[in-house]
Amino acid sequence: MRESLALAWLIGLHPFRALALAILAAGVALSLRKPIRASVGTLLMPLFAVTVPTAAVQTLLFPGCGEARIWGCSVFGASLGAAVHRASLAWGVIYGAAPYDFAAALMVAVIGFAFFRPRDRASGAHAMGSHFDGTAKSFHDPRD
């Protein structure tokens, strides 16, 4: 339990690492022409990287186990270690990183809809574009 929480805090408590991973995932989504997924992922992934481990620690707490007894908290015989302390720090990280997450999501959404819009499937556009259908054609000069 303690090791998995320590691994979750490795990304969660460093908001710019989480934002960098979210922007990397947004780049993949944009290359697949999914601008909505890219912007929503950029908004939610860094916030969930902090809130999910925090919620896990908050659900494990019991009366008498809190900030005052950091090292004395144990669940099923395993000590939570510094997870309680890190969970109490997480709200400051969330409030500090949320403006950057919103700004990055807005930036990804604008770039996504400006340059990576989904192709219109109703017009019959192919993967190479609507001007190329993959067959060879002879050129005809209309002046003849």
pLDDT at 38: 93
Rounded to whole angstroms, how far apart are CA atoms 49 and 69? 25
pTM: 0.67
pLDDT value, residue 71: 61
pLDDT at 101: 92
Instruction: Spell out a b/e string for 17-53, using b for 16 or more CB atoms within 10 Å of the CB, else e.
Output: ebbeebbeebeebbeeebbebbbbbbbebbbebbbeb
pLDDT in tens, the chain (144 residues): 677 787 888 888 888 888 999 999 999 999 998 999 999 999 999 999 889 888 888 887 777 676 555 566 777 666 777 777 788 788 888 888 899 999 999 999 999 989 987 776 655 444 445 555 555 556 666 666
- pLDDT at 28 (0 to 100): 93
Element of type H or E holding 74: strand 74-75
Q: How far is CA 26 from the centre of its chain?
A: 8
